[in-house]
Amino acid sequence: MSKRVVLGMSGGVDSSVAALLLKEQGYIVIGLFMRNWDSTTNRDVLGNPTVDDDACPQMIDYDDAKRVADKLGIPLHRVDFIEEYWRDVFAHFLDEHKRGRTPNPDILCNKHIKFDAFAKHAAQFKPDFIAMGHYARVKRNGSPRLLRGLDHNKDQTYFLSQLSSEQLKNVLFPVGELKKGEVRRIAEANNLPTADKKDSTGICFIGERHFSQFLNNYLPAQPGPIKTFDGEEIGKHTGLMHYTIGQRKGLGIGGSERHGNDPWFVAGKDLDTNTLYVVQGFHHPALYADACTLENLNLIVPDTAIEGRSLQAKFRHRQKDTPVRLEIINGVTTVRFERPVRAVTPGQACVLYDGEECLGGGTIQTALKGNDALPY
What positions carry a catalytic annotation?
109, 204
Decide: 145 and 355 in contact? Cβ < 8 Å: no
Helices 13-24, 180-189: axis angle to 10 degrees equals: 70
What is the pairing mode between strands 322-329 and 332-342? antiparallel
- Burial (0-12, 13-18, 19+ Cβ within 10 Å), 81: buried
> What is the spatial order of strands in the sheet that 76-80 belongs to?
76-80, 28-35, 4-8, 129-131, 171-172
- The CA distance from 186 to 368, in Å, is 46
Enumerate residues 6+ apart whose C-beta is below 8 A from 197: 11, 12, 13, 64
Inter-CA distances, 79 with 32, 107, 113, 124, 235, Å: 7, 20, 11, 12, 47
Cα 51–chain centre separation? 24
How many residues make up the chain in this entry? 376
Q: To which H or E segment does residue 288 belong?
A: strand 288-299
- The CA distance from 82 to 87, in Å, is 9
In DSSP terms, 236 is beta-bridged to 225
